[in-house]
Amino acid sequence: MARIEDVSSPARMAEPGEDISRDELSLATRNHGLPLEALRYDLTPPGLHYVLTHYDIPYVAEDADWELRIGGHVNRPIRLSMDNLRSYPQVTTRVTIECAGNGRALLTPRPVSQPWLVEAVGTADWTGVPLRALLAEADVRDGAVDAVFTGADHGVERGVEQDYQRALPLDTALGDTPEVLVAYAMNGAPLPPQHGRPLRLVVPGWYGMAHVKWLRDITVLDRPFTGFQQDVAYRIRQDPDDEGTPVSRIAPRALMVPPGFPDFMTRARVVRPGTTELEGRAWSGRAPVTAVEVSTDGARTWNEAVLDEPDEHRWSWRRWRFDWNAVPGEHELCARATDAEGRTQPLDQPWNRGGFANNLVQRIPVLCTEPS
């Protein structure tokens, strides 16, 4: 096994023209995306939410046996059963989670990893205990810097054997906007195994890697955490030896429900002439989405879409729609979101070695048939 000190470079790049490999295919069959037609739901139905798991899904026979330990740089280390956790005042937050590698397989050169197109997203109501209530109980000592979250899953990555671990800066862990949750329910039911049964972290606004599943340990550190998923993976680098910047909050993105009907093999879309309502969802983990624009001519011209009124769900995606008068021929549809801080989506491919946080505008080729 390699030591983490020896592995600082990101994953391999595919050679020019190199097809998706068997390894990538085996990841893609385990880690499924949101079928884009399910963007129609406010709350993603169970089983349609995307899934990403680095190693194996731990088998948990009895939630009653689970224990969450909180320790490290605290005055009162604690151990909590699921019943203990359920006795705290509970909070439910609607959160859109997106994998930081969403869009990776569309990049050139392609970082070799889970080959997402654009479908690594989903929205759920997560119920649990605010993390800050648990940290208050453990009484964090002065000088604390990071809180490290450890999952029960274990594996090897680029030669380094490890538990899945991620940290949050202490001010984020203790913050109230967003309020981080230690969640035990998804859409009102116990967490399904693939989403972290019985316990996971939910960090509204942050990319998926921060939402540690099968959470069994929280350790407070008086120094920055330097684990593999923090310091080696999930950093935005142009070159292997860049120090890079950490991946954190979700960049704005709009996705469209694929219009009309698909060709089975190519997924190419077919619509009939006339008015077609285009619709989709848009989100940003930094600031609320304030505009969505739609192009029906391959991003040459843009039109303002109608955004649903903002509701109380600040960390959830918002629905948008646009009436398109489809005429026979080939078209390319696009949508792009802009947030309250002026961030929007690029037309030119943003690129980094991990393929992280790229939010290239989605393009959907559509064939509109002749009137029948």
Ligand X SMILES: Nc1nc2c(c(=O)[nH]1)N[C@H]1C(S)=C(S)[C@@H](COP(=O)(O)O)O[C@H]1N2
Q: Where do contacts with ligand X occur on this chain (CB under 6 A)?
A: 49-54, 97, 99, 122, 151, 153, 164, 195, 208-209, 211-214
DSSP 287-329: S-EEEEEEESBTTSS-EEPEEPPP-S-TTS-EEEEEEEEE-SE
CB 44 within 8 A of CB 185: no
d(CA 336, CA 249): 18
> For Mo ion, which is the closer residue by CB, 103 or 259?
103
d(CA 312, CA 307): 15
Say which entry of Mo ion, ligand X, none residue 53 contacts (CB below 5 to 8 A, set by partner kind). ligand X
Please name the amino acid found at residue 249: R
Give every CB contact of residue 93 below 8 A, 6+ residues apart in sequence: 125, 126, 178, 179, 181, 202, 204, 315
- In whole angstroms, the minimum distance from the beta carbon of 277 to Mo ion comes to 32
When asked if residue 51 is in the footprint of Mo ion (CB under 5 A), the reply is no
> For ligand X, which is the closer residue by CB, 33 or 259?
33
- In whole angstroms, the minimum distance from the beta carbon of 160 to ligand X comes to 14
- Within 13 Å, how many C-alpha atoms sit on residue 194's CB side? 12
Binding to Mo ion (CB under 5 A): which residues in 68-97?
none
When asked if residue 208 is in the footprint of Mo ion (CB under 5 A), the reply is yes
- In whole angstroms, the minimum distance from the beta carbon of 354 to ligand X comes to 11
Q: Cα-flanking dihedrals φ and ψ of residue 270, to 5°? A: -125, 130
- In whole angstroms, the minimum distance from the beta carbon of 334 to Mo ion comes to 25
> For ligand X, which is the closer residue by CB, 97 or 144?
97
Site string for Mo ion, 99-128 (x = CB under 5 A): x-----------------------------
> For ligand X, which is the closer residue by CB, 155 or 365?
155
CB 336 within 8 A of CB 292: yes
When asked if residue 52 is in the footprint of Mo ion (CB under 5 A), the reply is yes
- In whole angstroms, the minimum distance from the beta carbon of 50 to ligand X comes to 5
* 221-224 contact pairs (CB < 8 A, 24+): 221/72, 221/73, 221/144, 221/145, 221/146, 221/147, 221/148, 221/167, 222/73, 222/141, 222/143, 222/144, 222/145, 223/145, 223/146, 224/145, 224/146, 224/167
Say which entry of Mo ion, ligand X, none residue 253 contacts (CB below 5 to 8 A, set by partner kind). none
Say which entry of ligand X, Mo ion, none residue 211 contacts (CB below 5 to 8 A, set by partner kind). ligand X
Say which entry of ligand X, Mo ion, none residue 336 contacts (CB below 5 to 8 A, set by partner kind). none
- In whole angstroms, the minimum distance from the beta carbon of 40 to Mo ion comes to 24
- In whole angstroms, the minimum distance from the beta carbon of 279 to ligand X comes to 23
Mapped onto helix, strand or coil, the DSSP state of residue 239 is coil
Mapped onto helix, strand or coil, the DSSP state of residue 181 is strand
Burial status of residue 295 (CB atoms within 10 A of its CB: 0-12, 13-18, 19 or more): buried
d(CA 268, CA 261): 8
Helical (H) or strand (E) element with 137:
helix 131-138
- In whole angstroms, the minimum distance from the beta carbon of 356 to Mo ion comes to 9
> For Mo ion, which is the closer residue by CB, 166 or 269?
166
> For ligand X, which is the closer residue by CB, 295 or 358?
358
CB 322 within 8 A of CB 306: yes
Say which entry of Mo ion, ligand X, none residue 105 contacts (CB below 5 to 8 A, set by partner kind). none
Which two three-digit tokens encode residue 290?
Answer: 């304030």
Query: What number of residues does the chain have?
Result: 372
> For ligand X, which is the closer residue by CB, 103 or 259?
103
Say which entry of ligand X, Mo ion, none residue 315 contacts (CB below 5 to 8 A, set by partner kind). none
> For ligand X, which is the closer residue by CB, 119 or 339?
119
Query: How many residues sit close enough to Mo ion to count as binding (CB under 5 A)?
Result: 4
> For ligand X, which is the closer residue by CB, 258 or 354?
354
User: What residues line the site for Mo ion (CB under 5 A)?
Assistant: 52, 99, 208-209
